[in-house]
Chains A and B, each alone.
Chain A
Amino acid sequence: MLDIAFKNLAEHKLRTFLTVLGIAIAITAIVALGSISAGMKEIVHSSLKQMGSDTIIVMKHIDITYGPPQIREIDEDIANEIAGMDGVELAVPVVRTNYLGIVPILGINFEDAALFNIEDVDFKDGGWYDDEEYGCVIGKNVAEERKLGVGDEIEINGKKLDIVGVFEAGEIKGMNYIIAMPYTVAQDVLDMKGKATMIIVKPTDIKYTSSIKHQIEEEYDDMQALTTQDMLKMASEITSTVSIVTLGIGFVASIVAAIGIIITMLNSVHERKRQIGIMKAIGANRLWIIIEVLEESLIVSIIAGIAGLVAGSVMVSFVNKYVLAGFNIASVTPELAAFAFIYSISLALVFSLYPAWRASTIDPIEAIRD
């Protein structure tokens, strides 16, 4: 039966090509747009691994009404106050900038690095700084992009820092884009004496986590204390909004492609009215005809699905490499690829049902007489 479908498609090469092209573009859009939210999700989960499950991060409320989120300064003395609260083992002020486009700076003393799960990153060269040293360690991507190594100096805001180590963080991708330096050095470089951007709080026991959170939020109006769960929730809210918007766009585009499928298949059925009539006259039943039409659209959608996946992946790697300068925000995950491919096939099959049904109701006598 498949040979009939192939023959029909081959007879109308241009028509088949255009139909495939329409679906393929829609699948490309779904893959390219979907990769943004998939990539965001990956980054969020990998950065959450930086924190132990019991740590609490305290920072000021972030405002996104006016442009991208900005990190706001906190008085570092607050860390001492929090350290005095019940159930708190440790409260460490940290400087962490996170402007997109500028290399993020992490100001944390080596003795506190364990709080960020970064004390045992692999050093490709050199090693951790002394907390009294005016130096820094850089992630491997920073080193590659700026062509810097141990012994070089890096200039930030007009201040020169010695690079004492180049490290590679395995699982936590984002770390490779960071410049880490002792806490007071970061304050000096960023000109924020006495200020931190967040405070990391470690409870004496995980069971105190939520009571510490409430204590902090009650004490300081403008602060938020985020547990790992809070952050997971926030992150999934953001990524799901992005998913809805991006997939929504892809979905609308695919509806247009689906219209193309209906039109092509109706035309194909119409042109083969006589052929289908004869098939029925010599004994083909309605189901047989329906399957035969669906086969045609199945072939179209498989080709289109593969083409769309390839084009989408190429586009994503291009954007990652040239537009996002190596910071891989967009990512084509296996789930996304599988979804796009299955979606392509289901779309074609669902929208071919009507043309297939039309074909199955052709009256053989009328069709042959025409």
Chain B
Amino acid sequence: MLYEMVARELGRNHLRSALTILGIGIGIFLVITLSSFSRGIEQNIENDLKYMSGLITVVQKGIGFQNYMFSKIDNGVVEELKDIAGVEEVAPVIITRVSGFGPVMGMDPEHFDMFSGIEVGFEEGREIERDAYEVMLGHDIAEKLKLGIGDYITLNGIKLEVVGIFKKTGTEDDNAALVSLDMAREIADMKDEVTMVMIKPENVEDAKSVAEEINSMYDDIRAASDEDVRKYAHKLTSQLNILTFVIGGVAAFIAGIVIMNVMIMSVRERRREIGIIKAIGASNMQVLGEIMIESIIMSIIGAGIGIAMSFFAVYLINHMLAKAIAVITPELLIEAVAFASTIGLLAGILPARQAARLDPVVAIRYE
């Protein structure tokens, strides 16, 4: 009986219910759309971390791992790192950015096997050969520049033959190029140094201690095991996640106030009805629950509308920027629905208590 009343009440004042639901919908839309940017960043970082699983990353000291592009390490240091106990393999890497193109990464092919954490297949073609004027391209950049196997591309005056094109990964890598280290030295004009060094320890369990050993030996570089990097990145992204959720949550919070206001109006208008229900035996708890459910139902319907709107907005944004920058993750959806329900619940408390405390005698007499 009570649940029929909920449905009837929501239908009774169409315009008001629709507006309230729209309000919470807009609020949830803003939360999800804003948060999708930080989730997208998080996912890109997660993806970068996959490359590093089980490995130690070495960058110049003072450069954050998120700005590794600006790091520099002397060739001499790279050679010394090979002699450290517990180090199995050392892969010097150059990362540069070619204007008018995008990120270019240089690494010799014999080190490709180090990155066991990922399996990027080729759409077509093969691996580059060491020291050959050859390049492998990400899916999107190849498509954008209309390049195929056998074509040539000139990066900072260096002419390279396209020998491989990667499968689409949906990340930044789709716009990148991979060349062997010496090619990257020419492209980036970095003869005496590299950007960063990836180290494979003899035992994966020793990654942390080898990294500590390197840090104690050198003042100007910083080594981090994949676990360290993950921790650091996680701290950064979780702060960003909280910030976007809070800013986006402002509108949903206002929507909560609107719901509360509407529920107070609704209880006031239905005094008589509530009084009669109580007079024929409904308990205070039943009345309380009924009003709360009404409030929560409105929030959840609103959340559904907000989710639909944000999917549309995120699709448009990514489409316009031609990159998957914003990502709506399942966790984000769950958080958004939980947030909406909480708002509905909190907004319902005060009106529900008002309803539950109504004295049937007074309420029925009231006109």
Q: Contact check: which of B64, B97, B247, B264 meets A65 at CB < 8 Å?
A: B97
Asked if A18 is at the interface (CB within 8 A of a chain B CB), the reply is yes
Majority SS of interface residues in chain A?
Answer: helix
Q: Which of chain A's residues 3-32 have a Cβ closer than 8 Å to chain B? A: 14-15, 18-19, 21-22, 25-26, 29
New A-B pairs, 18, CB < 8 Å, besides A22-B257, A256-B23:
A18-B257, A18-B258, A18-B264, A29-B247, A63-B97, A249-B34, A252-B29, A256-B252, A256-B254, A256-B255, A257-B258, A259-B20, A263-B16, A263-B19, A263-B258, A263-B265, A266-B15, A267-B16
Q: Which of A66-74, A115-123, A127-135, A280-288 contacts B (4 or more CB under 8 A)?
A: A66-74
Q: Is B247 a contact partner of A25 (Cβ separation < 8 A)?
A: no
In contact, A14 and B251 (Cβ under 8 angstroms): no
Instruction: Tell me if B118 counts as interface (CB < 8 A to partner A).
Output: no
Give chain B residues whose Cβ lies under 8 Å from the Cβ of A249: 30, 34, 247-248, 250-251
Q: Does A77 contact B (CB under 8 A)?
A: no
Residues of B within 8 A of A222 (CB): 99
Chain A 13-53 against B: per-residue CB contact (8 Å), 1 yes, 0 no? 01100110110011001000100000000000000000000
User: Interface 1/0s, chain A 257-299, versus B by CB < 8 A?
Assistant: 1011011101100000000000000000000000000000000
Q: How far is the CA of A356 from the CA of B362 in the complex (A)?
A: 33
A21 to B347, CA, bound (A): 14
Pick out which of these stretches binds chain A: B65-73, B80-88, B136-144: B65-73
Which A residues are in CB contact (< 8 Å) with B257?
A: 18, 21-22, 25, 260
Interface bracket on A: 20 to 34
Q: List 11 A-B contacts (CB under 8 A).
A: A15-B264, A15-B265, A22-B254, A29-B247, A63-B69, A66-B68, A221-B156, A249-B30, A252-B251, A256-B251, A263-B262
Q: Does A321 contact B (CB under 8 A)?
A: no
**A253 beta carbon closer than 8 Å to chain B:** yes
In the assembled complex, how far is the CB of residue A98 from the closest CB belonging to chain B, in whole angstroms? 13
* Contact assessment for B261 and A263 in the assembled complex, using a CB-CB cutoff below 8 Å: yes
Residues 79-99 of A contacting B (Cβ, < 8 Å): none
Residue of B whose beta carbon sits closest to that of A191: B220
A21–B16 alpha-carbon span in the complex (Å): 19
Contact A66:B254 (CB < 8 A) given known A256-B23, A259-B20, A263-B261:
no
Give the docked Cα–Cα distance between A67 and B172 (Å).
Answer: 14
The residue that A259 contacts in the complex, of B29, B252, B258, B264, with Cβ under 8 A, is B258
**A-B pairs with the 9 shortest C-beta distances?**
A253-B251, A260-B258, A259-B23, A18-B261, A256-B254, A22-B257, A67-B66, A256-B23, A22-B254
Chain B residues packing against A (C-beta within 8 Å): 15-16, 19-20, 22-23, 26-27, 29-30, 34, 64, 66-70, 97, 99, 103, 156, 220, 247-248, 250-255, 257-258, 260-262, 264-265
Inter-subunit contact A260/B261 (CB<8 Å): yes
Chain B at the A interface: SS class: helix
Given contacts A61-B99, A249-B248, A264-B261, contact A259 B69 (CB under 8 A): no
Q: Roughly how many angstroms separate A191 CA and B63 CA in the complex, as a whole number?
A: 14
- Given A22-B257, A25-B254, the answer on whether A259 and B248 have CB atoms closer than 8 Å is no
Q: How far is the CA of A259 from the CA of B27 in the complex (A)?
A: 12
Q: Which residue of A lies closest to B22 (CB)?
A: A259
Check A256 against B27 for contact (C-beta < 8 Å): yes
Q: Does A255 contact B (CB under 8 A)?
A: yes
Is the Cβ of B19 less than 8 Å from the Cβ of A252? no
Residue of A nearest to B219 (CB): A158
A259 CB contacts on chain B under 8 angstroms: 19-20, 22-23, 26, 255, 258
B16, A68: Cβ atoms closer than 8 Å: no
CA distance A263 to B21 in the complex (A): 12
Q: Which residues of B contact A61 (CB under 8 A)?
A: 99
Question: Taking CB as reference atom, which chain B residue is nearest A158?
Answer: B219
In the assembled complex, which residues on chain A have CB atoms less than 8 Å from the CB atom of B66? 66-67
Contact (A15, B261) CB under 8 Å given A66-B66, A252-B26: yes
